[in-house]
């Protein structure tokens, strides 16, 4: 290791990572008068870099990337989408164990994934906190819904969340902004769902539709995935961190790749060691306490790499559970061309992404199902801004060129409706991450190796999605696109439907649709992937023809659960305040503390937990306990 430059300043709190958890902790602590040093592995976000209202012709190569990457399904970088990362990062490999299939998306920029994510904002239900009590599978959380509900309230009042009061147990109501009006395809989906005994309601999105804390209401440009120059949607960068910096209590160090946490003779954290990516130098910042919010897997990696004589298995890992019980969301997508939408006068369907969603409707009917837990449905459709590759499907299907081809494209534009299932995964012993004993990144930091396995519960859940989506789409007269998609990203659309309007959360880097541009799947060191969002990694087990098309591990980018909370230090690294049992000045505030991964996208719960943790930490600092 190179010579380390150490600062003499002792910071109250060092926060590692600036996404939903790190941004929340930083904002809450700063507003409570606590000084925070925030480390971010990527560059600072410049609002001027966001291309929210640009057309394809405003961007070099029309957004295909400097080397035309969009034509070969490679990551294009910071073109339209506010993504600054991907599942392959130069100099930052990771590996996947033989027989496993996993893709790890990392976002390297201030605000992380919150700059570009889908902004689905759902509370966990009361029963989601006690899954083992409910069906004897998985584990119970050490907290209840009532413990977290006040923090859901605070988050919603601060951020702004759309929705309607519905009284559905599986989808607890919150403090909502007025939702946007349903679009034409939403109306068709809602009616078709009703005919199948399913209730579809206003989508719950992290978008303010009223003026809030100096932020103007959403102007419905439909480009949430590009970031928001008016801060009308939520991103930790421009909604939490930039305002916190104005308090004078926050210092940000960008391009700081955390290497390890340094402890003293008592085992407490005294400093964070990081690599300055701009020049490769090694630096340390001293602290009274540290909050890891680097993402579930990155935080686990940092703990596992922080070994010492007091912590031979890694910091806060006497239980051996750091890295264990890794979970992602179950994903599956299906789309159809709907004749009822053909020939309809075009209208502005931009809005703020999805305006309609379907909460889990069979939460009390599990005795009639062959899988535990459940899923919700996200809806896509309408007219997206055309970009490179938007009409590839029509070009492949239609003979000729010129006027007939253009007419075919116009006739099919906006006639597709897509449904994406987002379901619960039950934690299992075969899904985890560990430090690879041989591979290191460009800075000499050991990388993660992933192990992954879906259980029959998740596979049967996807089979149920297939049947349900087909019934809904065919009820409205839809012609199913074949085959159904595995739901990568927020639900990758089948190629045959790519020219018919945006699918739910499609990657669409040229349109700015909500959801990250993931590009190619993981290409672990020595185990190259074969390319393409929906393909398996090269070292994955051979495909089973009887296996449903479930998303690959990590593809939905909802990884949680690697440093779980619990009451027993022998089985959980953290307590109910996300504080390490054995290192009292160490906290984790991302998806890692999750005990289960319900059918609700995790960001809202990450924010609520982080808010609760920040308030607890501030009080412990005041008392001198950390």
pLDDT, tens digit, 9 for 90 and up, residues 206-244: 999 999 999 999 999 999 988 899 999 999 999 999 999
The answer to whether residues 106 and 19 touch, using CB atoms and an 8 Å cutoff, is no
User: Nearest 10 degrees: CA dihedral of 199, 424, 130, 133?
Assistant: 100
pLDDT of residue 521: 26
Helix ranges (H only) for 54-213 are 131-135, 145-159, 184-195
Question: Residue 224 and residue 353: Cα distance in Å, rounded?
Answer: 7
Residue pointed to by tokens 């996200």:
378
Question: Residue 34 and residue 615: Cα distance in Å, rounded?
Answer: 11
More confident residue, 241 or 529: 241
Whether the per-residue pLDDT at 520 is higher than 70: the answer is no
Q: Worst-scoring range by mean pLDDT, 21-30, 80-89, 538-547, 554-563?
A: 538-547
Helix ranges (H only) for 351-416 are 392-397, 403-412
User: Looking at residues 533-546, what average pLDDT do you find?
Assistant: 55
pLDDT of residue 58: 84
Q: Is the peptide bond before 483 cis (omega within 30 degrees of 0)?
A: yes
pLDDT of residue 541: 56
pLDDT of residue 512: 34
Encoded tokens for 120: 């689905």
The share of the chain scoring above pLDDT 70, in percent, equals: 89
Cα-Cα-Cα-Cα dihedral sign, residues 574, 580, 584, 587? negative
Encoded tokens for 369: 């199902």
- Band (pLDDT 50/70/90 cuts) for residue 78 is low
What spatial distance separates the first Cα and last Cα of the chain, rounded to whole Å? 30
Whether the per-residue pLDDT at 79 is higher than 70: the answer is no
pLDDT digits (tens, 9 = 90+) for 382-425: 998 887 778 887 788 888 889 989 998 988 899 999 999 999 99
Sequence length of the chain is 626
Question: Residue 24 and residue 16: Cα distance in Å, rounded?
Answer: 12
Question: Residue 501 and residue 415: Cα distance in Å, rounded?
Answer: 7
Rounded to 5 degrees, φ, ψ at 190 are -60, -40
- Band (pLDDT 50/70/90 cuts) for residue 2 is low
- Band (pLDDT 50/70/90 cuts) for residue 523 is very low
Cα–Cα distance list, 247 to 111, 229, 426 (Å): 18, 21, 42
pLDDT digits (tens, 9 = 90+) for 244-286: 999 999 999 999 999 999 999 999 999 999 999 999 999 999 9
- Band (pLDDT 50/70/90 cuts) for residue 517 is very low
Rounded to 5 degrees, φ, ψ at 563 are -140, 70
pLDDT of residue 510: 29
pLDDT of residue 76: 67
Cα–Cα distance list, 588 to 37, 69, 257, 337, 408 (Å): 15, 36, 17, 45, 53
Encoded tokens for 291: 């909050």
Question: Residue 441 and residue 449: Cα distance in Å, rounded?
Answer: 12
pLDDT of residue 485: 66
The answer to whether residues 80 and 510 touch, using CB atoms and an 8 Å cutoff, is yes
Cα-Cα-Cα-Cα dihedral sign, residues 69, 74, 80, 82? negative
Residue pointed to by tokens 């596979």:
459
On average, the pLDDT of the chain sits at: 89
- Band (pLDDT 50/70/90 cuts) for residue 542 is low
**Burial profile 217-256: b = 16 or more Cβ within 10 angstroms, e = fewer:** bbebbbbbbbbbbebbbbbbbbbbbbbbbebebbebebbb
Domain count, the chain: 1
**Residues forming a β-bridge with 251:** 37
User: Looking at residues 97-124, what average pLDDT do you find?
Assistant: 96
Which distant-in-sequence residues (6+ apart) come within 8 Å of 5 by Cβ? Answer: 281, 282, 283, 284
The candidate with the shortest Cα–Cα distance to 22, out of 295, 350, 429, 253, is 295
DSSP 550-577: PPPBTTTS--B-SS-B-S-TTT-SB-TT
Whether the per-residue pLDDT at 24 is higher than 70: the answer is yes
Whether the per-residue pLDDT at 11 is higher than 60: the answer is yes
User: Nearest 10 degrees: CA dihedral of 496, 501, 507, 508?
Assistant: 110
- Band (pLDDT 50/70/90 cuts) for residue 492 is very low
Beta strands in 17-73 (DSSP E): 36-39
Question: Residue 287 and residue 305: Cα distance in Å, rounded?
Answer: 19
More confident residue, 562 or 502: 562
- Band (pLDDT 50/70/90 cuts) for residue 75 is low
Which distant-in-sequence residues (6+ apart) come within 8 Å of 433 by Cβ? Answer: 297, 300, 301, 323, 326, 448, 449, 450, 451, 562
Widest distance between CA atoms in the chain: 77
CA 380 to chain CA centroid, nearest Å = 18
The answer to whether residues 199 and 168 touch, using CB atoms and an 8 Å cutoff, is yes
Question: Residue 605 and residue 611: Cα distance in Å, rounded?
Answer: 10
The answer to whether residues 522 and 448 touch, using CB atoms and an 8 Å cutoff, is no
pLDDT of residue 504: 35
Cα-Cα-Cα-Cα dihedral sign, residues 307, 308, 313, 315? negative
Cα–Cα distance list, 515 to 83, 114, 115, 200, 289 (Å): 9, 10, 9, 22, 33
CATH number for the domain spanning 604: value is 3.50.50.60
Question: Residue 341 and residue 365: Cα distance in Å, rounded?
Answer: 34
Whether the per-residue pLDDT at 498 is higher than 50: the answer is no
- Band (pLDDT 50/70/90 cuts) for residue 33 is very high
Helices (H) and strands (E) in the chain, counts: 10, 18
Whether the per-residue pLDDT at 620 is higher than 90: the answer is yes
pLDDT digits (tens, 9 = 90+) for 418-444: 999 999 999 999 999 999 999 999 999
pLDDT of residue 540: 54
- Band (pLDDT 50/70/90 cuts) for residue 530 is very low
Pairing of strands 106-107, 330-337: unpaired
pLDDT of residue 203: 98
3-state secondary structure of 239: helix
pLDDT of residue 70: 77
Report which DSSP code applies to 233. B
The answer to whether residues 30 and 243 touch, using CB atoms and an 8 Å cutoff, is no
Q: At what angle do helices 145-159 and 603-623 cross, to 10 degrees?
A: 100
pLDDT of residue 537: 45
Rounded to 5 degrees, φ, ψ at 497 are -115, 10
- Residues of the domain holding 431: 4-163+170-623
Report which DSSP code applies to 236. I
CB atoms within 10 A of CB 56: 18
pLDDT of residue 526: 26
More confident residue, 330 or 408: 330
Whether the per-residue pLDDT at 529 is higher than 80: the answer is no
pLDDT of residue 484: 65
pLDDT digits (tens, 9 = 90+) for 344-391: 898 999 999 899 999 999 999 999 999 999 999 999 999 988 877 788
Pairing of strands 432-440, 106-107: unpaired
- Band (pLDDT 50/70/90 cuts) for residue 128 is very high
3-state secondary structure of 587: strand
Whether the per-residue pLDDT at 486 is higher than 80: the answer is no
Cα–Cα distance list, 414 to 36, 206, 477 (Å): 47, 25, 15
């Amino acid at each position: 290791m190179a010579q380390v430059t150490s600062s003499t300043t002792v910071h109250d709190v060092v926060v590692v990572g600036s996404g939903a958890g790190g941004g929340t902790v930083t904002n809450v602590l700063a507003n409570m008068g606590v000084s925070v040093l925030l480390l971010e592995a990527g560059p600072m976000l410049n609002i001027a870099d966001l291309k929210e209202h640009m057309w394809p012709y405003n961007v070099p190569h029309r957004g295909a990337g400097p080397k035309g990457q969009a034509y070969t399904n490679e990551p294009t970088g910071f073109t339209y989408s506010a993504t600054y990362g991907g599942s392959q990062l130069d100099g930052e490999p990771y590996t996947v164990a033989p027989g496993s299939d996993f893709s790890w998306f990392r976002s390297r920029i201030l605000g992380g994934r919150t700059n570009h994510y889908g902004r689905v904002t759902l509370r966990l239900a009361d029963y989601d906190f006690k899954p083992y009590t409910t069906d004897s599978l998985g584990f119970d959380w050490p907290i209840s819904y009532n413990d977290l509900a006040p923090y859901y309230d605070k988050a919603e009042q601060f951020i702004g969340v759309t929705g309607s009061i519905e009284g559905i147990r599986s989808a607890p109501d919150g403090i909502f902004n007025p939702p946007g009006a349903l679009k034409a395809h939403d109306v068709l989906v809602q009616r078709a769902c009703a005919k199948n005994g399913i209730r579809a309601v206003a989508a719950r999105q992290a978008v303010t539709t009223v003026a809030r804390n100096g932020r103007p209401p959403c102007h419905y440009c439909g480009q949430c995935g590009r970031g928001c120059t008016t801060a009308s949607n939520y991103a930790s960068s421009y909604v939490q961190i930039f305002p916190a910096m104005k308090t004078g209590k926050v210092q940000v160090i960008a391009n700081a790749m955390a290497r390890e946490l340094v402890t003293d003779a008592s085992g407490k954290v005294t400093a964070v060691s990081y690599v300055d990516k701009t020049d490769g130098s090694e630096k340390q910042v001293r602290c009274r306490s540290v909050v890891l919010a680097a993402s579930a897997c990155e935080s686990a990696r940092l703990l596992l790499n922080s070994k010492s004589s007091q912590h031979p298995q890694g910091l806060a890992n006497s239980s051996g559970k750091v890295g264990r019980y890794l979970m992602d969301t179950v994903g599956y997508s299906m789309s159809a061309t709907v004749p009822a939408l053909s020939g309809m006068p075009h209208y502005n369907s931009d809005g703020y992404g999805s305006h309609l969603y379907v909460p889990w409707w069979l939460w009390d009917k599990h005795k009639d199902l062959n899988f535990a837990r459940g899923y919700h449905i996200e809806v896509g459709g309408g007219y997206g801004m055309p970009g490179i590759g938007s009409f590839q499907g029509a070009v492949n299907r239609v003979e000729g060129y010129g006027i007939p081809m253009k007419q075919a494209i116009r006739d099919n534009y906006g006639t597709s409706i897509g449904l994406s299932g987002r379901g619960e995964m039950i934690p299992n012993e075969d899904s985890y991450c560990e430090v690879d004993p041989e591979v290191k990144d460009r800075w000499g930091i050991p990388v993660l190796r992933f192990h992954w396995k879906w259980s029959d519960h998740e596979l049967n859940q996807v089979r149920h999605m297939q049947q349900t989506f087909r019934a809904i789409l065919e009820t409205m007269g839809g012609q199913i696109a074949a085959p159904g998609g595995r739901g990568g990203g927020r639900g990758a659309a089948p190629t045959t439907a790519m020219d018919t309007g945006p699918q739910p959360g499609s990657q669409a880097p040229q349109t700015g649709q909500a959801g990250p541009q993931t590009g190619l799947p993981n290409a672990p060191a020595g185990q190259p992937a074969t390319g393409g969002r929906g393909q398996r990694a090269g070292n994955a087990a051979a495909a089973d023809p009887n296996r449903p098309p479930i998303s690959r591990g990590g593809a939905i980018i909802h990884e949680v659960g690697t440093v779980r909370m619990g009451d027993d230090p022998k089985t959980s690294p953290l307590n109910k305040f996300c504080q390490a049992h054995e290192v009292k000045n160490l906290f984790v505030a991302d998806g890692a503390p999750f005990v289960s991964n319900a059918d609700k996208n995790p960001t809202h719960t990450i924010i609520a937990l982080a808010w609760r943790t920040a308030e607890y930490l501030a009080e412990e600092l005041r008392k001198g306990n950390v």
